[in-house]
A and B are shown apart, each in its own frame.
Chain A
């Protein structure tokens, strides 16, 4: 009798485990849940649905990725220009005071974008020039009219941070449009003489 009770307990226990497993499968469904996704503009007419995918592509001038500020920089001086800040060469070879640093939202893009910037310190061994000593001014920010390039001066420049700047280099850039920008460098007083190198990152992302 006691043996029968024990067997019944074991059987019930096995049944309980099996029922829990079945319960689990029926609750979650056989296939894994893939979730809903909306990454594109869509329109629905009756029972027809068309989904158009979004694309962004930004292209920078090669010069924008290789910025130099010259080789004679004095400690305690401010507003050194990037060497190509006022040195744009036209197709016919004429040099103007335009900048060679620019980014274009490719015509493949079907949404507008903002371009943000952050950077890291300029270093030479243990010595460093803080990234906030580098600043930029562009013709496509929220507070500058796109056609007004006179604002692209050191006086109107925004300092670069290690984290992404609150003010984008370009705001609401539309497909095919180009943002021009200039870089400036300050050398703190007492800065140790050396050749310093640093870098920045610019990112294009859809205007929210």
Chain B
């Protein structure tokens, strides 16, 4: 009985050492057309094609990085049951939010969202592996003039309003500003 237990533990240890590591994502490529200054949300399905649960880290790369936010950057994903088949059973949906800046002409941003996992055990040369979903964002000129309104514009507008209010107040008090030659 004791021998059998030892053998079982050894077998489990060997299996876990030789467990494959895999990551999947859907869709593998996305082309988005969005108006400058508007928000677009994208949902990615990240799944584990390996043998053991895997902590997967998500990150952005490329010119989309400056306006892209990933809702959850670290997720623990259970492996897909074998044989692998669709639909994905244990995958996790990850929301990605993009808000490209306003533009006066069609501008294209490209990049990837990487989903990477690792089970390196401190060997000389450890590996992290994963998948990259390609993102292309075509930003069209904004139809709304408000997309071009910056903080500076708002500040100037506020100063003008204060001056106008001051002018009206003075007028109400019976004071006048007169320009004389």
Contact = CB atoms under 8 A, between A and B. Distances in A.
Interface size class of B (residues with CB under 8 A): 35 or more
A55 B24 contact: yes
9 contacts: A35-B34, A35-B38, A54-B26, A55-B24, A65-B120, A66-B119, A66-B126, A68-B124, A201-B130
A153 interface: no
A53 B41 CA distance: 17
Nearest to B116: A201
Contacts of A208: 134
Interface of B: 17-35, 38-42, 47, 49-50, 80, 84-86, 88, 112, 114, 116, 118-134, 143-146, 164, 168, 171-172
Given A57-B47, A202-B129, 12 more contacts: A3-B172, A28-B144, A54-B26, A58-B131, A59-B50, A65-B120, A67-B123, A109-B28, A196-B124, A202-B130, A203-B129, A204-B23
Contacts of B121: 66
Contacts of B120: 65-66, 199
Interface of A: 2-3, 6, 9-10, 13, 24, 27-28, 32-40, 53-69, 82, 103, 106-109, 111, 113, 122, 134, 183, 185, 195-206, 208
Contacts of B24: 55-58, 106, 108-109
